[in-house]
Amino acid sequence: MKAIVIGSGIGGMASAVRLASLGFETEVFEQNSFYGGKINSKNIGPYRFDRGPSIFTEPHLVDELLSIVKASDIDFDYHKLPNSCCYFFEDGKRIKLPTGTEAVAACLSEELGEDQKNVEKLLRRFELNYKAVYPVFIKASLHRIMQWLNRKVFKAITRIPFYGLFSSMNTVNRQSFKNPKTTQIFNRFATYNGSNPFKSPGMFNIIAHLELNVGPYMPKGGMVAISDAVYQKALELGVRFHFNKRVEKILYSSGRVEGIETSTNKIVCDLVTSNMDVHFTYDKLLPGLKGPVKILNQEKSTSAVVFYWGIQKTFDNLDVHNIFFSNTYESEFDHLFNKQTLIDDPTIYVHISSKVEKNDAPDGCENWFVMVNAPIDAGQDWVSQKQRLRKNILNKLKRLLKVDIEPLIGEEENVDPVMIEQMYSGKNGSIYGNASNTMMSSFYRHPNFSSKIKGLYFAGVTVHPGGGIPLALSSAAIVEKCVRRDFSIS
């Protein structure tokens, strides 16, 4: 049997590995000249930059994927970072937050006056919530009845009073902590799936468990090492990749997949897995098929503007991950989702992989990945928006770091929502598909299979279970489970 995967993002490549391991002759079609989707790398002058995701949690999911049908050792090493993030506030307060439940609680107690035992209790609640929902909402499809007939579902249901389903993240966090700065730190985790903490349900505080209780990791060689390792695994299993090859249509007849059509030919296959943004999968590849309107019309997640700066200086007060908070956080999200523009006092994320990957920048220099959450593209003038944003970022960094950054920029490039849509086929530049700004948002993500076309599956951050590298990898595992069941593979 033959399987075709559309898109070589991490969800697509992981799907290809799993389908090939089941015995499918598997081919991947990618419109770009590189694999990995957003997890790719670029050299700008003497600096190397990871161009997309920079937070790496749950590395065991990659290890598990690389161990499938093990034939050879693939070089993939990583190490845990001692700190989760360094936070800067407008009043001059700086907090380097460690990892581990007790260490985080002690730090927040010392730096922000929180009750240490209360913080530990909350972090353990987030851990228990995560462990309860993981097997039934993250590792499995929500859209097949058999999934709901097991004890783990009952266990997850019994914890409903502890999830914060009926309150926003901000409400839960504001009621849990004494200091508004602590609330802001925990609200930030809503941005990990492009959502608004003032609307997103408190359930999403479970994201904090992975970064704070467990901690982030750094792959040897940078984030792109994840894509490199999975790509090598796919090649090992005989997967064929076609780069610079855009799929133009998914072919089907009588409710069953028949193949794909490219600009040059038609290819027959038994199943298709789309790693493309689910909105564009319907809009561009299935124009004659009516998609699930309620799901596709959901509010979109945020996009981003990213500046890649080669900085000709090192900063001892910065870490691998750094956040410079807006002083008007709620207004920032109002601008992102309602006004669809950038606020003049944005929250700035600065990722510096050269702090641990010394070859990513020359001696005495650093590679700064400077990101600001942005609204999706709605026809804004991004040239002027980026010019104003760049000025505001530089002013804020100069104010908080007490150093003029602009003269230190030796190399520079940037991306905006329009470019993100063009490069990664994210509708309107949305990074994660739909936002999670309602209580039922998790249930309104697209299933990992089509209910109308047999043999059509979906993987990646725009479908269930959601955004981020771990969830994209989980989507591929769910696709494998669905294929096993549908094709009677033991």
pLDDT, tens digit, for every residue of 54-111? 999 999 999 999 999 876 788 899 999 999 999 999 999 999 999 999 999 999 999 9
The gap between the terminal CA atoms of the chain, to the nearest Å, is 15
* Predicted confidence band of residue 114 (pLDDT cuts 50, 70, 90): very high
What distance in Å separates the CA atoms of residue 264 and residue 51, rounded to the nearest whole number?
Answer: 31
Mean pLDDT (the chain) is 94
* 461, 463, 465, 471 alpha-carbon torsion, rounded to 10°: -20
Instruction: Tell me the average pLDDT across 341-363.
Output: 98
pLDDT over 90 at 438, yes or no: no
pLDDT over 90 at 52, yes or no: yes
Torsion over CA: 173, 175, 177, 178 (sign): positive
The Cα-based distances of 96 to 56, 90, 112 in angstroms read 18, 15, 12
Up-side HSE of residue 21: CA atoms within 13 Å toward CB? 23
pLDDT over 60 at 164, yes or no: yes
Segment holding 49, helix H or strand E: strand 47-50
Q: CB neighbours of 27 closer than 8 A, spacing ≥ 6?
A: 2, 3, 4, 5, 239, 240, 241, 242, 267, 269
What distance in Å separates the CA atoms of residue 476 and residue 12, rounded to the nearest whole number?
Answer: 7
CB 338 within 8 A of CB 262: no
Burial 188-213 (b: 16+ CB within 10 A, else e): bbbbbbbbbbbbbbbbbbbbbbbbbb
* Residue (of 477, 480, 449, 481) closest to 463 by Cα position: 449
pLDDT, tens digit, for every residue of 229-256? 999 999 999 999 999 999 999 999 999 9
* Residue (of 84, 56, 54, 71) closest to 17 by Cα position: 71
* Predicted confidence band of residue 294 (pLDDT cuts 50, 70, 90): confident
pLDDT over 90 at 166, yes or no: no
Instruction: Tell me the average pLDDT across 304-320.
Output: 98
Q: Which domains does the chain have, with CATH numbers?
A: 2-39+52-78+221-298+438-486 (3.50.50.60), 104-215 (no CATH), 302-375+378-415 (no CATH)
pLDDT over 60 at 148, yes or no: no
pLDDT over 70 at 146, yes or no: no
Q: CB neighbours of 295 closer than 8 A, spacing ≥ 6?
A: 434, 444, 445, 446
Token reading at 305: 């503007």
* Predicted confidence band of residue 444 (pLDDT cuts 50, 70, 90): confident
CB 99 within 8 A of CB 81: yes
pLDDT at 295: 87
Beta bridge partners of 6: 29, 274
Residue 448 dihedral angles phi and psi, to the nearest 5°:
-90, 10
Q: Is 355 helix (H, G, I), strand (E, B) or coil?
A: helix
Pairing type for strands 366-374 and 266-268 reads unpaired
Pairing type for strands 321-324 and 83-88 reads parallel
Is pTM, for the whole model, over 0.75? yes
pLDDT at 135: 83
pLDDT, tens digit, for every residue of 372-393? 999 999 999 999 999 999 999 9
Distance of CA 460 to the CA centre of its chain: 9
Instruction: Tell me the average pLDDT across 351-365.
Output: 98
pLDDT at 144: 64
